[in-house]
Amino acid sequence: MFEEMVTARYYEERLQEEYLEGKQPAFDISAGPIPGELHLAAGQEAAAAGVCRHLRDDDTVTAPHRPHHVAIAKGVDLKRMTAEIFGRETGLSGGKGGHMHLFDPDAGFACSGIIAQGCPPAVGAGLAAKKRNEDSVAVAFLGEGAISQGAFLESLNLAAVQNLPVIFVIEDNDWAISMPKGRVTDVADGSQRAGGFDMPGVRVDYDDATAVYDAAKEAIGRARAGNGPTLLEVQVHRRMGHFMGDPESYRPDEDVEAAQARDSIERLADDLRNEGFEDDELETIREDARERVDEAIEWAKDQPEPDPDAAYEDVFVNPPSGVTTEEPSHEFAGGED
């Protein structure tokens, strides 16, 4: 877990540097090596690492718009993921998805920029596992800002009523862009939503990766054994802005300071030292992580840009009936009533 967490943290710090290249002094979102929005997850590593440690390749994970730490913990290839973020041809989706649309069927991972959107596909994966009589599970990660979304609540209901092997993991960083949790829900502990669906709901506080590991072990074991879904909420902290370029003028200084003070990685490092790990062992893990991240970024930057014509490829798996691949005619052909 420590290795995954330091990899994810360093990855976000390096992307932060790369992203800013060429975008300043006046912030130009389309300029530089990483065009478009970028949502970094520094401070949220404990949730991903603690849950994904229990997962296998044939398990499915969906993540929201802040996906890198989850992708890393699920074993998505770092180089191809980075090439995707940099919009390169060898990226996971040929450079056409970008950082919010990472899709890796080999690792069983997908994410989406539409919040709560990962919940229904995770339920679908859970239903497929049940119908096939397999013991794989599906995990949907979402932010606390998504817990009043219909897609989330309907997914909880279907997973419960069909007794599906699905774990919903709310990453509670207390903010949905500039909106604090307390202003959009009176339920401070999002795991209480589980009560309405008669499934277990568990909350883990203090960015505690070890406690997440224990809670996830129980939930995933339960799902694998055919005993249905669990809702898990994990307290995490957003150490950076909502997206790159966010001045965070809405956020009190004390809140930023609290997020910096509650460091999930330092907390786990303390746990490891208490278990007998030496500082230099932890430093070696950090150095290896830095090396792998730097290598992935250098590799990705060397990859070719996609051919502009590739924009027309992979739009449909099969053209739906009535759609022709011939050049469109500009004459009005009339229509049927």
Sign of CA dihedral 271, 273, 279, 285: negative
Give the one residue of 222, 242, 251, 267 binding ligand TPP; rule: CB under 6 A: 242
The verdict on 20 binding ligand TPP (CB under 6 A) reads no
Whichever of 75 and 143 has its CB closer to ligand TPP, that residue is 143
| Cα Dmax for the chain | 78
Q: Which does 155 bind (CB under 5 to 8 A by kind): ligand TPP, Mg ion, none?
A: none
Shorter beta-carbon distance to ligand TPP: residue 80 or 242: 242
- Whole-Å CA distances, 202 to 49, 140, 163, 181: 17, 15, 18, 18
Nearest distance in Å: CB 237, Mg ion: 10
Picking from 162, 170, 163, the residue whose alpha carbon sits closest to that of residue 201 is: 170
Site for ligand TPP in 42-71 (CB under 6 A): 65-66
Q: Please report, as residue ranges, which positions from 222 to 281 form the binding site for Mg ion (by CB under 5 A).
A: none
Asked if 173 is part of the footprint of Mg ion (rule: CB under 5 A), the reply reads yes
Task: Check residue 233 for interaction with ligand TPP (CB under 6 A).
Answer: no
122-161 footprint of ligand TPP as x/- string (CB under 6 A): ---------------------xxxx---------------
Tell whether residue 76 is a contact of ligand TPP (CB under 6 A). no
User: Quick check: 143 binds Mg ion (CB under 5 A)?
Assistant: yes
DSSP state of 308: G
Residue 183 contacts residue 255 (beta carbons within 8 Å): no
Shorter beta-carbon distance to ligand TPP: residue 108 or 143: 143
Q: Which residues contact 102 (CB under 8 A, 6 or more apart)?
A: 67, 71, 76, 81, 84, 85, 92, 93, 109, 110, 111
Bridge partners (DSSP) of residue 171 are 143, 234
If you write DSSP's letter for every residue of 159-226 in order, what string do you get?
A: HHHTT--EEEEEEE-SEETTEEGGGT-S-SSGGGGGGGGTS-EEEE-TT-HHHHHHHHHHHHHHHHTT
Select from Mg ion, ligand TPP, none the partner in contact with residue 242, using the beta carbon and a kind-dependent cut-off of 5 to 8 Å: ligand TPP
How many other C-beta atoms can be found within 10 angstroms of the C-beta atom of residue 200?
17
CB atoms within 10 A of CB 226: 13
Segment contacting ligand TPP by CB under 6 A, of 3-11, 111-119, 226-234, 263-271: 111-119
- DSSP-derived secondary structure letter, 36: S
Give yes or no for residue 114 binding ligand TPP (CB under 6 A).
Answer: yes
Please, what is the minimum distance in Å from the beta carbon of residue 136 to ligand TPP?
26
Q: Tell whether residue 145 is a contact of Mg ion (CB under 5 A).
A: yes
Select the span of 14-22, 45-53, 155-163, 172-180 touching ligand TPP (CB under 6 A): 172-180
Q: How far is the CB of 229 from Mg ion (least distance, A)?
A: 22
The residue written with tokens 């239903």 in the block is 127
Residue ranges in contact with ligand TPP by CB under 6 A: 65-66, 113-115, 143-146, 173, 175-177, 242
Residue ranges in contact with Mg ion by CB under 5 A: 143-145, 173, 175-176
